[in-house]
Amino acid sequence: MNLKALRCCVEISRQGSFTKAAQSLHIAQPALSMAVTRLEEELGVMLFNRAGRQVHPTSEGARFLARVECALHELDTARQELRDLVDLHSGEVRLGVPPMFGLNYLPTLLSAFRQRYPGITMTVVEGSADDISKQLERREIDLALLESRRVTPAWESVMLGQDEMVLCMHTDHPLATRPHLEPEDLADVEMVLFDRSFLQRHLLDQFVADGGVRYRMAMQSNFVSLVVEAVRQRVGVATLLRSVQQSTPGVVGVPFKPSQQMSFRLCWRQGEYLSLAARRFTDYVREAN
């Protein structure tokens, strides 16, 4: 039974498409289709229902591929363990981070870790907390950096850092001189908002809901750099981390009352094998904090 064909089938099941699976695996679609056909002939059963635009596993295929996916994961783990044993000074850490907290804190941390372990490659991917959580569950990354309220009990974690959500605006905004902000201060204020995949959006909406007021939406985006620049250009005010505000010239950050504190934890799947490179990084984070 061909391992490549098995991986192709698992990816088709994930993507729901031969085309998308071929793109994800970086192989030609005819080659992928042929590999699947040969495997089906070997097994004597159809693995996929090809009717319609969306490809779905047959009932037999779904049961078979569920076991195959587990077996492939075990095989990948075994290979990783062997690589770690052969060369303890190399490896890769796949880390998922939220876009805002990674801007100022991570570069210093990664630079210091790199100096201690120059043979380890850091692969950092950015995404919303929802995206990063899903990638960790799917084992597409080894570690995830998430706000503490997004950490599930099924994960192990270690504290990485803390920050504060503040309302940021141009220095000449009417609210810029306030010592703090209460819900009623945001009534009808034009906001530059992150979408609802960001924790900051949920915290803001809860804050104004508690005060029974409504803001006005001037713009919505999930691009941190665009939101920051929109604040600089006076499009509206936005919720940013204090660390981001302090590194952005011309932008004032006013705290909320009560203050909106955020803490960030490094997370990984509990009870599963973690490569030596990833374990080195978690150990380093513990030492640094």
- pLDDT of 85 higher than 60: no
Beta bridge partners of 267: 144, 157
Q: Rounded mean pLDDT of 76-90?
A: 70
Residue 196: phi, psi to the nearest 5? -80, 5
Q: Tell me what pLDDT residue 90 has.
A: 67
Percent of the residues in the chain that have a pLDDT greater than 90, as a whole number? 71
Section 58-62 average pLDDT: 93
Q: Which tokens go with 270? A: 């509990």
Written in H, E and C, the secondary structure of the chain is: CCHHHHHHHHHHHHHCCHHHHHHHHCCCHHHHHHHHHHHHHHHCCCCEECCCCCCEECHHHHHHHHHHHHHHHHHHHHHHHHHHHHCCCCEEEEEEECCCCCCCCHHHHHHHHHHHCCCEEEEEEECCHHHHHHHHHCCCCCEEEEEHHHCCCCEEEEEEEEEEEEEEEECCCCCCCCCCECHHHHCCCEEEEECCCCHHHHHHHHHHHHHCCCCEEEEEECCHHHHHHHHHCCCCEEEEEHHHHHCCCCEEEEEEEEEEEEEEEEEEECCCCCCHHHHHHHHHHHHHC
pLDDT at 215: 96
Rg (alpha carbons) of the chain, rounded to whole number: 24
Q: Is the pLDDT of residue 82 over 90?
A: no
Q: Which domains does the chain have, with CATH numbers?
A: 3-76 (1.10.10.10), 86-162+264-288 (3.40.190.10), 163-262 (3.40.190.290)
**Residue 107, pLDDT score:** 87
Half-sphere CA count of 4, side-chain side, radius 13 A: 11
Segment 185-240, tens digit of pLDDT:
999 999 999 988 888 999 999 999 999 999 999 999 989 899 999 999 999 999 99
pTM, two decimal places: 0.68
Chain position carrying tokens 């960001």 = 198
Confidence (pLDDT) at 89: 61
Q: What is the mean pLDDT of the chain?
A: 91
> How many whole angstroms separate alpha carbon 8 and alpha carbon 37?
11
Structure token digits, residue 193:
């908002």
Give the model confidence (pLDDT) of 145-188 as tens digits: 999 999 999 899 999 889 999 999 999 999 999 999 999 999 99
Nearest to 257 by CA among 207, 190, 216: 207
Q: Which two three-digit tokens encode residue 232?
A: 């600089």
- Which has the higher per-residue pLDDT, 108 or 142? 142
pLDDT tens for residues 15-50?
A: 999 999 999 999 999 999 999 999 999 999 999 998
pLDDT per residue as tens digits for the range 113-133: 989 888 888 999 998 888 899
Of the candidates 155, 213, 148, the one whose C-alpha atom is nearest the C-alpha of residue 185 is 213
- φ and ψ of 106, to 5 deg: -65, -40
Give the list of residues 6+ apart from residue 260 with CB closer than 8 angstroms, or none. Answer: 164, 165, 166, 203, 207, 239
How far is Cα 62 from Cα 57, in angstroms, rounded to an integer?
5
**What are the C-alpha distances in Å from 205 to residues 194, 196, 239?**
11, 10, 11
